[in-house]
Structure 1
Amino acid sequence: MISERSWADAQLLWDYHQMHHEPRPCSVAIGLGSHDLGVADTTVDLYKRGMMPLIVFTGATSPTTRDRMPRGEAVHYRERALKLGVPSSAVLVEANARNTGENINFSKTLLEEAGVDVSSVLLVSKPYEERRAYATACKLWPKVEFVSASTVVAMGDYIASIGDASLVIDMLVGSLQRLLIYPDQGFMISQAVPEVVGDAYLRLRSQGFTNRLVPESFKF
């Protein structure tokens, strides 16, 4: 049973992880692979709204996607986009990335090899991965302007769609941990974490939401 305090703490992390950017036309969209096909759906919606002429879906497989996306996250995303009416000529696939840094670096290389001039990117992710993806992209591709986007959904509705509250809260905590420790490791830019968010993060860790943490020497 998840306590009311933990739900409230999870909501604080959920709100912080979103960048609250207003979508605008960009050179390209990069849809970050994951277990969530909603990323593909949101990318398609942005394409149909004229926000970009080209989509890159990036992602191999992970332990959480191997069964449900056996052909790879980016491949399943592309199939979803084509089913929703996006022409195949508007979708590139990067099928090797296994983490956010590789998502950005491999997509950058793919676009360079395709001769695409990129000045701005709509970076589409899960709602609770917006800030982490943005911080990583700004570090690895500093000459490009990034606009974060994700499915507009309340935390409770998102959890209901996934069907596993503990999994989502674990991921909220894991994403916050990476925002705290990865800047010192050179993986992303540093961003201020409000004290109320940091306190919520520590409480959730103390309640056992630790399954998505990475080993660390940094202590918040």
Structure 2
Amino acid sequence: MVTLAVCFFSTGFADELTSANGSAEKSWDGTWTDVNYTLSIVQNGSEISGIALSNNIDFNDPFLLSGTLAKDGKTLQGTMKDTGTIVMKISDDMMSYSADGTVDTLDNASEPYSYTSKGTRNGTSINPESIWSGEWNTPNTTSIFNQTGNSVTGKYRPNSLTEYFGVLEGTVSEDGTTLSNTWTYYENVTFTLADNGLSLMESDCGEKEIALGEVCLNLTKKE
């Protein structure tokens, strides 16, 4: 997600820092932007942290970025993280659900982004003691839930990936029909800084991911 899912500045050439051994290092500090995100980055040596806020009302999925730079100072191996809530209502036949969710904001000013979702159970076997347990599918994600009593834990992934980077914890209502969750999504990401230090590309996101509805970041340093 992000989808995440999800989500650097100068005028001319990149700012440069001089390291202890006298070599020049491009600075990642600053504000970077594209059509979907504005990403504010702080660099502390080889460590990077950042906050990305959405510029696109149709893809409002803010995230935190953290990671470590390679020795060349141009490649970042990092993690994008976002959080939120989702409340699911199971159907009468217990084979599908409808849901209302939110994505947490990071600026403490705007309202959480809200969304709706629908999922279907993969399979026909239902344990009456744990009706939420099992695999659930939406057009974009695959989730696996495990219900014990009124508590549910789970994991999920975008359908474009094979690893489960998302986790959730929830509580089932007394009648069993409603599941209220908090969720956290982590995604590994690689960013590459251009030679001139003025653009930043999510290098492991390409045509395949775009075709599956993911957003690839291609950021420019803001003046």
User: The TM-score by the shorter chain falls in which range?
Assistant: under 0.3
Greater fraction strand: 2
Question: Greater relative contact order: 1 or 2 (C-alpha under 8 angstroms, separation 6 or more)?
Answer: 1
Q: Normalising by the residue count of structure 2, what TM-score does the alignment of the two structures yield?
A: 0.23
